[in-house]
Structure 1
């Protein structure tokens, strides 16, 4: 049962004439002054903004014991409030508390004189509890943002790159356009060779100009080859911050991004360093990233640049999470570290060097005090940052025709540890024939240490279709996942059509949901199932628990091209038949011969449940099976799993002759499984002591008729 709400609640949509002021428990008309400036806030896809108005001002009375005022939106997973003003004096404060946990306390240091959005708080309500003793203290809220996905899953995407235009920036711009980021940040040296306005217009704008309205730049040393970086400030205008300074901050989702200028005074006690510390103190977001041109740590030809250490120190003191730099024309990733370069997994900052935007690459020839983890000096590309309120994933993506990739994930130091969970269903759509059944997988994901028992149910079922969840209650481990099998059974009389089924996950007062498209049909032609592996469709690696391979396990990914140093043949193709991704036995290239190929036994991956209609169904797919020093016991197999029985419908065995990578086509007749719900399993095995095995599969399709 929900707790009894406080006396006043604002529910969406709400339109209030003027602003309300809470003073000593009484509501009176008031007017909020316009803020001096707004902290830019970019939002997660699907976020909705609602208008409302509430404010409070101190009149010498203490409101610390107030029951609190609530801003609510039915069905919301989280809310983020926009303060148009916050002017708190002395020790006065405002506490914001989410209905599903999480809180933040606002004090005088938080964005005085500026409009800003708070961090997102989980639940469908936020309680505002002011403690205003000083009669001059006041605040005003005019709107809030609404999210429908759990905070650990609501992501924004940012492209990060420096040292750009250059001769190859058309290729990195095309790459970036392909994943359509929420924002672009630049690490300086954006337009070669002197950052003049004419160079920005001729070298940069034709390619990267398409992102200008979502680009937040920083300046490099080449910009300052034009006096005062005039071309840079002229081209970007207000987006580059105040002319002559070039440092500023923006909020992207629940991340606070800070653009700094490593070409002007940056020492301890400098105007920039003082501004940075004040900006960090004002920030309310759980995650923080900064970016500038010159890296503190680098193995590139310029090496470490200790002049930026005071900036890094200020960020470390504030528990920032990421620093992105350029200057050296290569890619390098470092472990979370202190300013002196020692590793610090608990509070350290992870630095990335992404000087790969399009200007001539250079060798990595220097030593560094930083804890380097990965690097490459031969690949143009962009860092794709996928960011949530709890953490990040950084992927280095290469331009077309190049293969090096890198990927790392981490958690935000100040992310909420409030227990929560999310629900998902895979695949997103299923079909079932009348008289048949089909399956999907329901996953409950824990965040913030959530370990509660979660009850599952399904609504919106088509007429004649029943649902069974096994088990009906799951309990995920802390920060882990628990799954249940959803079986949908259609009566013989079920009518054809497509419906949206909602799967509910409930624990206590919290409910999360996910949807599943269910099509009831009699079959008789068309595509039954197709997967080009560009998105997740619900394949499961080692679903039977019997895999024995120690490396080279199946995954969906963008494969790096690998060449055998023994046979001088390409073994893993870096170019799938379609798109960027495929099923592959470890997508990354190995650092030495025999690394990251299949080793030590068998690896399997299994599709979601597929209901085959009556009549003839044909399975088709593309595959690559390459090897050195192999034998007939090594193999690539495709199997049909019907209940507990797995039947091989395709096999490619190893041989003593070395075989180079080559995409081939294969088909298999599945007519024997008409009317049954089956799964497709792909198996790769390396059982030879000296053999090297690489396997890939793409564009799998089952067609009826």
Structure 2
């Protein structure tokens, strides 16, 4: 469902926040405009040619700018679920910055790298206001806001549609053009070879324009090799004009909704360090959008007649490094969907970029007669059609739509790597299973985690407890810090006659958003699951609680691990595939510039769990992986210890050796029965303790059961 939005543009001197750094760091708000004064024109650059959105559905007057304090203003639209703010000027110097925070969720800090000299819309922020906080010290720093876009439906429902196709006209583009009309997209991206045979002015006039010319106002093209059969692709640049970017270059960028699109030219110089690739790096760094797609003609991966093209690897590598999400290409006249991958073709479901080859606009068919370094997930060699991209602030869906009379379809979905977090907050309990004796009490930690900058009060309640058991949560409402965690305590009290067991539900509510977490409660002498953590939520593990850790890098953290592979042994060292979910405990989760960039170095790192009571016959189970190079020694280790008061006892240990060891998930166990009835904590330790060596460790799915 497409979210109904309205865009408000304010007169330049009425509602623009025109600010600069003065001697005292104060803000200037421009004077009242005269009635009827027109809004400033958009910056005339291809990179800012955003399709106009439908404007309706938000009630209330014009957006307001409130001078709540000298250091902050707010842009508000009554009744809005989300806002995008439009900057007409952003000129920040040095370390000066402007931070935007949604009243409900979302935060982003603009710096000197973000779109200097260009008008642009920011990413969307949840809520009916966006707070604008500036930290300016340089007198030359300035910014100005003149308008906003707003939606009256939740941000997750705010979709935009983009049609994508390459290798178009062709003798059969009369079949694909109606598909675009039926889609009614906000943009049409063209992956090259748009007008056969040679992209001449005549080819565009006679072959392309009669069918695709009706979409010129929403078209964003890139040239193919056939365009360059005409000197300098002059027919292409003449036909599309400014929409094709600077003549002779043909690369540019633009935004659609919460997506940043980059059009590249694979027919001119695009080697590492070239002007085009340098521009691409800078453009991606300047973007404020949470999701990124690129399109160009020659495919990095293809099983079709042309095969893999390693010459575009600098494009792919730059996009991969910037955590881009989609690449659309053409050249081979068929449809191919590839798994998210690295530039070398290895599958990477965490950080990989998905390539869609859509050479099905209307020019012949090519067979699958080549192998590819990447994993093809779907394909067709006999169907013309387009891809319909349905885009939100956090994910995408790609649907291949065939021409009339054909039946092949394909659907793929994915999450933006830098997308708006959803939900706005997470909810977890620790432990997830607890026993309470008749007449006794037990405690459970309730953790409310902020995602996407969420900083709103969250009310907590519990229901579904066993007969005779009551629950009280204190405090009953918590407000987590932005991208942090707030904790409350659920106290369970059992009457003398309490009995039975049940799965209780803890509910967190903030506005219209609710989240739930379960905790198994049993009445009796004990048993069940005393502690469990799959690390998908923050349950309160702490780094270096004793203050004695010595590691200088690669310290333990909870997060999404990025896979690394040794350049020399070709072994996977850090796994990128936790045994459940996407998070685990890991030493230095980021891959870095090379496989040893963020491994554990120069000492010990530890992470300690929250306290829990060990049941009778307690058993610890967990998953673990460790890996090292051939320069490791027995002084390097992965350990799990039980902390009973201040006394640590090692219950599991893996030592290093002078051999290459690849990362592999394994199962570990330990007998905790000697701690029955005692409140203890677990300590996960890793050490690179002697001479510097490569060491990677991870732990997942920790459970203590009876």
Question: What TM-score do you get using the length of structure 1 for normalisation?
Answer: 0.56
Query: 1:603-635 CA distances to partner (integer Å, 9 max, x unpaired)?
Result: xxxxxxxxxxxxxxxxxxxxxxxxxxxxxxxxx
Query: 1:29-67 CA distances to partner (integer Å, 9 max, x unpaired)?
Result: 4899988645223365556799769799xxxxxx9x965
What is the CA distance between 1:509 and its match in structure 2? Answer: 3.8
**Residue 398 (structure 2) aligned to one of 394, 401, 404:** 394
What is the CA distance between 1:347 and its match in structure 2? Answer: 0.9
Q: 1:33 to 1:17 in 2, by over 3 A?
A: closer
- In 1, the alpha carbon distance for the partners of 2:28 and 2:451 equals 39
SS where residue 70 of structure 1 aligns?
strand
Q: 1:172 to 1:16 in 2, by over 3 A?
A: closer
**Residue 199 (structure 2) aligned to one of 179, 195, 201:** 195
**Residue 300 (structure 1) aligned to one of 271, 280, 304:** 304
Q: Could you say which residue in structure 2 is the equivalent of 1:84?
A: 88
- In 2, the alpha carbon distance for the partners of 1:165 and 1:79 equals 39
**Residue 40 (structure 1) aligned to one of 20, 24, 49:** 49
Asked if the contact 1:334/1:371 (under 8 Å) is kept, the reply is yes
- In 1, the alpha carbon distance for the partners of 2:169 and 2:247 equals 22
- In 1, the alpha carbon distance for the partners of 2:270 and 2:137 equals 39
* Matched length: 422
Q: Could you say which residue in structure 1 is the equivalent of 2:185?
A: 181
What is the CA distance between 1:152 and its match in structure 2? Answer: 1.5
Asked if the contact 2:10/2:146 (under 8 Å) is kept, the reply is no
Q: Could you say which residue in structure 1 is the equivalent of 2:104?
A: 100
Whether 2:20 is the aligned partner of 1:25: answer no
Whether 2:325 is the aligned partner of 1:324: answer no
What is the CA distance between 1:149 and its match in structure 2? Answer: 1.8
Whether 2:351 is the aligned partner of 1:347: answer yes
Asked if the contact 1:77/1:146 (under 8 Å) is kept, the reply is yes
Asked if the contact 1:330/1:353 (under 8 Å) is kept, the reply is yes
Q: 1:26 to 1:404 in 2, by over 3 A?
A: closer
- In 2, the alpha carbon distance for the partners of 1:26 and 1:262 equals 46
Whether 2:384 is the aligned partner of 1:384: answer no
- In 2, the alpha carbon distance for the partners of 1:86 and 1:449 equals 23
What is the CA distance between 1:419 and its match in structure 2? Answer: 3.2
Asked if the contact 1:334/1:374 (under 8 Å) is kept, the reply is yes
**Residue 114 (structure 2) aligned to one of 110, 113, 118:** 110
Q: Could you say which residue in structure 1 is the equivalent of 2:276?
A: 272
Asked if the contact 1:261/1:292 (under 8 Å) is kept, the reply is yes
Whether 2:131 is the aligned partner of 1:122: answer no
Structure 2 unmatched ranges of 5 or more: 1-6, 34-38, 426-449, 462-506, 515-706
Q: Could you say which residue in structure 1 is the equivalent of 2:510?
A: 508
Q: 1:13 to 1:303 in 2, by over 3 A?
A: closer
Q: Could you say which residue in structure 1 is the equivalent of 2:362?
A: 358
Q: 1:306 to 1:236 in 2, by over 3 A?
A: same
- CA RMSD in angstroms comes to 3.2
SS where residue 356 of structure 1 aligns?
coil
What is the CA distance between 1:115 and its match in structure 2? Answer: 0.7
Q: Could you say which residue in structure 2 is the equivalent of 1:241?
A: 245
Question: What TM-score do you get using the length of structure 2 for normalisation?
Answer: 0.56
What is the CA distance between 1:17 and its match in structure 2? Answer: 3.8
Asked if the contact 1:16/1:52 (under 8 Å) is kept, the reply is no
Query: 1:262-305 CA distances to partner (integer Å, 9 max, x unpaired)?
Result: 00000001110011001001100000000000000000000000
SS where residue 42 of structure 1 aligns?
coil
Q: Could you say which residue in structure 2 is the equivalent of 1:623?
A: none
Q: 1:13 to 1:453 in 2, by over 3 A?
A: farther
Asked if the contact 2:65/2:76 (under 8 Å) is kept, the reply is no
Structure 1 unmatched ranges of 5 or more: 1-10, 57-62, 422-445, 456-504, 513-705
- In 2, the alpha carbon distance for the partners of 1:261 and 1:402 equals 32
